[in-house]
A and B are shown apart, each in its own frame.
Chain A
């Protein structure tokens, strides 16, 4: 089989370098495929790409926008990566993010007169509680062996945005608009830095990445989680509390996704509106899977995806293409990584 042919002799390059080279080659391949689609729709592919890269990596502001886009997808990817370590497939990041955002919004609207240093931590806790609550149901049903968590998290993804719709239309909508809440008061907004849209959520994302890496590598919990992921029954016979772990880890995953929702509404938008996520949770799932659940990979993949989606904003403005078109480039990138062309000698995802 072709998969056994190695393009470079092993050991002649460092693993980090090789993984960067591999990701770059994949990105080039995706760009080439998307170029064909751009040409077919009558656009100048080279100019479009130039616009995209100049607008994202060509200026400090563009770069800051890439970082802003990265925040929620890094966090939702971690919401998938942690449960994945005990063998749980959490496809429910999307729903957990919505419910987290709803709880945080409730906090922002109800306690808007509190000072920022109480209100923001309260909103974070509420967001995490909401996400954890939404993940508890699938986690519990899985732990008692009733229903598979993949199915339940998927179903609950579809329920969550409708609950948001119910809350906004029924109770929270502003006087001007029925599809959004009123703008959050300044005290309910996460602080931003350097005059850009980068908000405190970036710090959450990086801290969580670090925590995740540390816990998995250096703590007893990490070891026990890996044991459960490897062989749940063996882990249980060795005295690891299996059910407790499954439920707790799922809830923590949900809490992380809920925090992403809180960061989006409090840091990025400053308001809650219908369908505000548009697939952030699914994107996190994809990123986690493509990165094999490794913190560094999650960071790199999120960065690449963020460049693509941020650059896509500009394509819409300058090339008169529908915004959704950027999803094609995104999907082609994902296809290329998923297909792991043999000359990249990729790992099994």
Chain B
């Protein structure tokens, strides 16, 4: 097996994993504020389809990314209205949001199936331009890939080094206490959901506008649920989310490597690796894992009228 094919595998693993990192970061923010968003799959689909549609119409991928982000935020606002305002069950509301996303994305994306777009431009990795073109072209990434790890650091900074982040985490731990110390749990949860939606939208935009460069129904292929699993794997921490996304990318790379070296392992079984690892990690932590979960995750805040 040549160096070139190994590098090729590495490059495609990075491309397929990046949408997951953004999505996982978004879910970390949601869950830190105490809200489980099981509708992520639907949010991703609607963002991916609308971002793609805008890119086709305007031929401007950056506008597409922007719209995908905003749509992600708006989708999460639906969940926010249901679980914050109407105090509905979070799991059920999330699943309803998922079905909504299945339908809406199909409707939005239908006229644009098979269309060509201007994808996000790719910029060669700095310092590699002296390499032969076959190598450097493997490592020319779009802007969202370069921004992914800085974004994880930024979210960490936002959650752990700002007053707003402190308030957000406080609401996730105990909304009543946060309220007593002068914060508005409802407002903070809406803000968290909106930010989470923006991040999920970024992930979805990378998927349809930069990576696959097309739109097909159900194109996210369970990434929403993988992200929910990776949040647990990364113990609700933005920096460990990088490890989680790497785990997924690694599984993809491993799978591609095995295939290209002729080893026959069912790709279906390899697809289960991230889930099984997450499950094993949860078992290995035993009861300790609970301590890192936000204490009031999934609970309804009834307010204090």
Contacts and interface: CB of A to CB of B under 8 A. Distances in A.
Interface in A277-334: 279, 282, 285-286, 289-290, 321-332, 334
A325 B82 contact: no
Contacts of B289: 147
Given A145-B287, A154-B225, A324-B103, A1 B88 contact: no
B279 A327 contact: no
Contacts of A289: 89, 91-92
Main SS of the interface on chain A? helix
Nearest to A335: B96
A349 interface: yes
A92 to B, nearest CB: 12
Contacts of B269: 162-163, 166
Contacts of B95: 282, 285-286, 334
B147 interface: no
A150 interface: yes
Q: How large is the interface on B (under 10, 10 to 19, 20 to 34, 35 or more residues)?
A: 35 or more
A84 to B, nearest CB: 11
A45 to B, nearest CB: 14
B254 interface: no
Interface in A135-150: 141, 145-148, 150
A157 interface: yes
B77 interface: no
Interface residues of A, number: 50
Given A325-B103, A335-B96, A155 B229 contact: yes
A330 B87 CA distance: 20
B149 to A, nearest CB: 26
B93 A159 contact: no
Contacts of A91: 91
Interface in B82-101: 82, 86-89, 91-93, 95-100
B161 interface: no
Given A169-B268, A282-B95, A338-B82, A327 B287 contact: no
A170 B266 contact: yes
Interface string B285-300: 0110110000000000
B114 interface: no
B38 to A, nearest CB: 8
Given A146-B286, A151-B232, A289-B89, A163 B225 contact: no
Nearest to B278: A155
Interface in B252-276: 266, 268-269, 271-272, 275-276
B99 A327 contact: yes
Contacts of B290: 148
B103 A331 contact: yes
Contacts of B278: 155
B272 A151 contact: no
B268 A155 contact: no
B121 interface: no
Contact of B88 (A325, A332, A349): A349
B283 A165 contact: no
Given A141-B283, A146-B286, A162-B272, A326 B88 contact: no
Contacts of A54: none
B215 to A, nearest CB: 12
A338 B279 contact: no
B102 interface: yes
Contact of A328 (B82, B104, B222, B266): B104
Contacts of B97: 331
A180 B106 CA distance: 25
Contacts of A323: 106
A329 B106 CA distance: 13
A340 B99 contact: no
Contacts of B86: 338-340
Given A152-B279, A324-B217, A285 B103 contact: no
A322 B88 contact: no
Given A163-B268, A169-B266, A325-B107, A334 B99 contact: yes
Contact of B89 (A157, A163, A326, A338): A338
Contacts of B266: 165-166, 169-170
A41 interface: yes
B81 interface: yes
B267 to A, nearest CB: 8
Given A146-B287, A158-B275, A338-B86, A166 B229 contact: no
Contacts of A156: 275, 279
Contacts of A335: 78, 82, 93, 96, 100
Given A152-B279, A322-B106, 20 more contacts: A145-B287, A146-B282, A150-B91, A152-B282, A154-B228, A155-B279, A158-B226, A162-B269, A165-B268, A170-B266, A282-B98, A324-B217, A327-B103, A328-B100, A331-B97, A335-B78, A338-B82, A338-B92, A349-B88, A349-B89
17 contacts: A37-B107, A147-B282, A150-B91, A154-B228, A159-B275, A162-B272, A166-B268, A279-B99, A282-B95, A282-B98, A324-B105, A324-B106, A324-B217, A325-B107, A334-B92, A340-B88, A349-B92
Q: Top 9 nearest A-B pairs by Cβ distance?
A: A327-B103, A331-B100, A328-B103, A324-B106, A334-B96, A165-B268, A166-B268, A338-B88, A322-B106
